[in-house]
Amino acid sequence: MLKQYLLSPGPTAVPERVLLRMAHPMIHHRTPQFSAIFAETKRMLEQVYQTSNDALMLASSGSGAMEAAITNLCSPGDTIIFVNGGKFGERWGKIAASHGVNAVEIKVTWGDAVDVAAVEAALNEHPEAKGVFLQASETSTTTEHPVREVARLTASRDGCVTVVDAITALGVIDMPMDDWGLDVVITGSQKALMLPPGLAMIALSDKAWGLTETATCANFYFDLVTERKNQQAGKDTTAWTPAASLVIGLNEVLKMMFEEGLENLFARHALLAKATRAGVAALGMKPLSTAPATSATGAFVPEGVDGGAFVKYLRDTMGVTFAGGQDHLKGKIIRIAHLGYYDVFDITTAMSAIEIALNRFGHPVQMGAGVAAAQTLLAERFPAQG
Ligand SMILES: *Cc1c(COP(=O)(O)O)cnc(C)c1O
């Protein structure tokens, strides 16, 4: 047998408690029973968003909500500004182009955060822009972008919003939507929310709802105005058949998050991220990001090691699934997740697995160096005794 460990930044591990809740017999979604669960889930979700607006649930992966943001806010021929610092940033441009929306790209070196001054320059050059679209955490490069600062830039511009893909940030870092003035915040089920894939979530500020009134991009399934009417209190359902088992799973996930407490949850993620960075540094692996994310840590595999073969060996021979790199980072990096259902001993497992794999690939490695560096920090998670 080979015991399996899932340490990739999406999909992430699903807690047993959530799996068991979703294993209950199916219920009909047009019933008071489902609506009660739906309404409670939506309320808790809005608390995680830290918004007084509606957090809507859509039956799709995260990209569906990204597309919904563009089609509900824009018309063909409109201009948007997007930050391309990785695979997910690049996706904004592709979605916009597919709807005839003119997408102005701010190209960022993979692994760097966007320079707020570059966003300001783009806004000045394109005063007609409907919004700035970016990731809070660009998962492909394990990098955090300064979304709060970007939102400050759009706040004073009429009809211009900040749209944040927070798929690996919401429920990882403290990112209060209303306080920070974020106009659209998107997330998905299979990352920090500890669920299987298939549910996307999106919330809009009043300013963003204003843009929906004039937007004419075609959308039928992802019509957020229709969704809002159905999902608000009183109706407590979705326009189309909801991903009911995922909504029920989300109900359990959110209860777990509030039992832990959001502050503790953010602190746990920050500690795991810090320990992981220390671990890979102790193994002499160069960090991928100059603005490292709290959700996952990317590092270059050592010179002479084929990163593609390395990640495959870890998964197929050792049973530990990490993520590798895409495009020009393919074969060069490893990405270690620490978002959602992760704790101290997931990080020590990750470090130990990487050390053993480096050894098996003939790379000189001091066994235990990464684990030790991580453990020194991870010990803080438990109270001192005596
Ligand atoms: C996972 C992810 C997405 C969404 O991808 P889907 O495959 O559609 O769920 C988008 N943005 C980021 C930053 C992600 O990590």
What digits encode the pLDDT tens for the residues 112-164? 999 999 999 999 999 999 999 999 999 999 999 999 999 999 999 999 999 99
| pLDDT given at position 382 | 97
Mean pLDDT, the chain, rounded, equals 98
User: Which ligand 1 atom sits nearest the alpha carbon of residue 64?
Assistant: 8
Angstrom distance (rounded) from CA 116 to CA 183: 17
Q: How many secondary structure helices (H) and strands (E) does the chain include?
A: 14, 13
Q: Say if ligand 1 is within 6 A of residue 326 CB.
A: no
User: Which ligand 1 atom sits nearest the alpha carbon of residue 166?
Assistant: 13
- Residues 299 and 333 sit within 8 Å (Cβ to Cβ): yes
> What is the rounded average pLDDT of the residues 259-276?
98
Amino acid present at 3: K
* Separation of CA 222 from chain center: 20
* Closest C-alpha among 172, 381, 201 to residue 296: 172
pLDDT of 361 > 90? The answer is yes
The DSSP output letter for 104 is: E
Burial class, 272, CB count within 10 angstroms (exposed 0-12 / middle 13-18 / buried 19+):
buried
Query: CB neighbours of 78 closer than 8 A, spacing ≥ 6?
Result: 101, 102, 128, 130
Give the helix/strand (H/E) hosting 151. helix 147-155
CA atoms within 13 A on the CB side of 385: 2
Tell me how far the alpha carbon of residue 167 lies from the centroid of ligand 1, in angstroms: 6
Angstrom distance (rounded) from CA 205 to CA 181: 8
| pLDDT given at position 252 | 98
Angstrom distance (rounded) from CA 111 to CA 327: 13
Tell me the percentage of the chain whose pLDDT exceeds 90.
100
User: Which ligand 1 atom sits nearest the alpha carbon of residue 137?
Assistant: 13
Which pLDDT band holds residue 386 (cuts at 50, 70, 90)?
confident
Residue whose CA is closest, atom 15 of ligand 1? 139
pLDDT in tens, 273-314: 999 999 999 999 999 999 999 999 999 999 999 999 999 999
Q: Say if ligand 1 is within 6 A of residue 101 CB.
A: no
> What is the rounded average pLDDT of the residues 340-350?
98
| pLDDT given at position 105 | 98
pLDDT in tens, 155-213: 999 999 999 999 999 999 999 999 999 999 999 999 999 999 999 999 999 999 999 99
Tell me the percentage of the chain whose pLDDT exceeds 70.
100
| pLDDT given at position 223 | 98
Angstrom distance (rounded) from CA 93 to CA 277: 31
The C-alpha angle with vertex 93 and arms to 91 and 94, in degrees rounded to 5, equals: 65
| pLDDT given at position 333 | 98
Q: Say if ligand 1 is within 6 A of residue 219 CB.
A: no
Q: Say if ligand 1 is within 6 A of residue 323 CB.
A: no
pLDDT of 349 > 90? The answer is yes
Helices (DSSP H) in 295-343: which residue ranges? 307-316
Q: Say if ligand 1 is within 6 A of residue 10 CB.
A: yes
Tell me how far the alpha carbon of residue 101 lies from the centroid of ligand 1, in angstroms: 21
> What is the rounded average pLDDT of the residues 234-243?
95
User: Which ligand 1 atom sits nearest the alpha carbon of residue 135?
Assistant: 13
pLDDT in tens, 82-107: 999 999 999 999 999 999 999 999 99
Angstrom distance (rounded) from CA 359 to CA 194: 32
Full-prediction pTM beyond 0.95?
yes
pLDDT in tens, 28-64: 999 999 999 999 999 999 999 999 999 999 999 999 9
Angstrom distance (rounded) from CA 206 to CA 183: 8
